[in-house]
Amino acid sequence: MNSLAGDHSMVESSRLPGFYKKSIEERLDLISQLVGLDEEEKKLLRNLGNLDEKIADAMIENVIGGMTYPFAIATNFKINGRDRLVAMVIEESSVVAAASNAAKMLREGNGIIAVADKQVMIGQIHIVNVTAPQYKAMKILEHKEEILDHANQQDPVLVKLGGGAQDLEVRVVDTRRGPAIIVHLIVNVLDAMGANAVNTMAESIAPLLEKITGGEVRLRIISNYAVYRIARAWARAPPEAVGGPEVVDKIVDASILAEADPYRAVTHNKGIMNGIIAVALATGQDHRAIEAGAHAYAARTGVYKPLSYWEKDEDGYLVGSLELPLQVGIIGGAVRVHPIARLALKIMEVKTARDLAEIMAAVGLAQNLAAVRALVTEGIQRGHMKLHAKNLAVMAGATGDLIDKVAQKMIEDQRIRFDYAKELVEKLSRGEPL
């Protein structure tokens, strides 16, 4: 196999006319020729895993292969009084184990309660070059029913099911180029993430808004700042479940630091997103939308804050609460086409988008507890290193029981390095003791 650094010169040109029209095979051949991939490398890349060839090729453009991430189940979750198996896809070791571990602690206090808002999204229509913008903003509201009707004609199925465009908000925003009118179309998207439905509606009402205002529409797009689609989760754990009263106090200290310091708040929230995004990936969600919305929400006061809080209640119990926007769907998008996303929903017994949002919020809270608890006790490196050592052992060629043996020895000797893993594997293969 060629090394990643490559032993050939740089690609001559990235101009590949007609590349998009070729088959996966043809594209892969071409790229292989250009960068010198050997047959083994081509075969590896060509493997689409559990994704059908046609689906993969239609999902995005210029496909030449696939890349598989592990799909895991986090255990011990009790959410709203019900046991749930949680599907997670992630590249980072420790996340699944940590979520399962914290879910177990929170079970001891009756599990996690989670409640999500209705699935309401905002579509933005941006109007410029408006004379008398304050007055025209009112004129838009005067035509509210007509505008909503027009939007709803785009999606009669959604309306029939009880969703659709339900309200309008209008603002005049001062911009560098003077005032602009921003119309928010408020749409209940039911079980969809909603981008398609909302964008179609936003585009459809643009000409009407131009007529009413005499201005020109520029952007017509969903806002991923999904402030009407908030999911909340909370839980209460007896001190013994998390390691005793001292640990409770230290977890509260960690939360207080995140409240006071954005540098810590970002990492605190990253820990929450470890869990949420792992579920998002497993269920084929638009995780960029979720991330963007979550971090904007964290900064909604003008200062970046934690999405969760850990406190001690009057009985000395650890109580945690989490709140963030979650724009998730169980119909449309990758959920519709990726068979594994559908399987994930089946494993989690998810029947509605709201249910999925509630599970994700609960997972975020548990993930956060696991991280913060580890940080205020043994630190996260020990757990990480254990898994890292196992990974190195596998990479060095250890199989079966030998993986744990090699990993254990590296930990004992505090030499968790690939060269040492190789040395140990070689020793074992010669039949020598470690």
Min dist CB 264 to ligand MEV, Å, is 8
Min dist CB 272 to ligand MEV, Å, is 8
Reading the block at residue 253, the tokens are 């200290």
Residue closer to ligand MEV by CB (options 270, 342) is 270
Question: What is the helix (H) or strand (E) element at residue 147, kind and residue range?
Answer: helix 144-152
Q: Which stretch binds ligand MEV (CB under 6 A): 61-69, 70-78, 118-126, 265-273?
A: 265-273
Which of 84, 220, 250, 268 binds ligand MEV (CB under 6 A)? It is 268
Residue closer to ligand MEV by CB (options 380, 411) is 380
Residue 284's closest CA among 348, 330, 224?
A: 330
Q: Which stretch binds ligand MEV (CB under 6 A): 54-62, 244-252, 263-271, 297-305?
A: 263-271
Min dist CB 323 to ligand MEV, Å, is 17
Distance CA 253, CA 165 (A): 44
Site track for ligand MEV across 353-392, x = CB under 6 A: ------------------xx--x----x------------
Residue closer to ligand MEV by CB (options 44, 375) is 375
Distance CA 128, CA 215 (A): 6
Which of 270, 287, 312, 415 binds ligand MEV (CB under 6 A)? It is 270
Residue 267 in the binding site for ligand MEV (CB under 6 A): yes
Residue 99 in the binding site for ligand MEV (CB under 6 A): no
Backbone phi, psi, residue 74, to 5°: -85, 135
Site of tokens 């010669």 = 430
Distance CA 416, CA 398 (A): 14
Residue closer to ligand MEV by CB (options 337, 380) is 380
Residue 343 in the binding site for ligand MEV (CB under 6 A): no
CA dist 255 to 38, 268, 312, Å? 51, 8, 11
Point out the residues that are catalytic: 92, 270, 286, 384
Residue closer to ligand MEV by CB (options 206, 322) is 322
Site track for ligand MEV across 221-260, x = CB under 6 A: ----------------------------------------
Residue 382 one-letter amino acid: R
Give the angle subtended at the CA of 80 by the CAs of 321 and 346, to the nearest 5°.
115
Min dist CB 373 to ligand MEV, Å, is 10
Residue closer to ligand MEV by CB (options 119, 274) is 274
Query: Between the CA atoms of 75, 80, 83 and 88, what dihedral angle is there, to the nearest 10 degrees?
Result: -40
User: With 0-12 CB in 10 A as exposed, 13-18 as middle and 19+ as buried, what is 245?
Assistant: middle
Residue 329 per-residue DSSP state: -
Residue 220 in the binding site for ligand MEV (CB under 6 A): no
Residue closer to ligand MEV by CB (options 190, 282) is 282
User: Do 81 and 44 form a contact (C-beta atoms < 8 A)?
Assistant: no
Distance CA 351, CA 339 (A): 16
Instruction: Tell me if residue 218 falls in helix, strand or coil.
Output: strand
Instruction: Tell me if residue 301 falls in helix, strand or coil.
Output: coil
Residue closer to ligand MEV by CB (options 136, 268) is 268
With CB atoms as reference, the residue minimizing the distance to ligand MEV is: 271
Strand partners, 231: 116, 324
Distance CA 131, CA 65 (A): 53
Min dist CB 293 to ligand MEV, Å, is 19
Which of 274, 283, 308, 327 binds ligand MEV (CB under 6 A)? It is 274
Site track for ligand MEV across 39-78, x = CB under 6 A: ----------------------------------------
Min dist CB 270 to ligand MEV, Å, is 5
Residue 95's closest CA among 275, 363, 268?
A: 275
Residue 271 in the binding site for ligand MEV (CB under 6 A): yes
Strands (E), 51-191: 71-79, 82-89, 112-116, 120-128, 164-175, 178-188
User: Do 181 and 127 form a contact (C-beta atoms < 8 A)?
Assistant: yes
Distance CA 416, CA 405 (A): 13
Q: Which stretch binds ligand MEV (CB under 6 A): 165-173, 227-235, 262-270, 408-416?
A: 262-270
Q: How many residues bind ligand MEV (CB under 6 A)?
A: 10
Residues that bind ligand MEV (CB under 6 A): 92, 267-268, 270-271, 274, 371-372, 375, 380
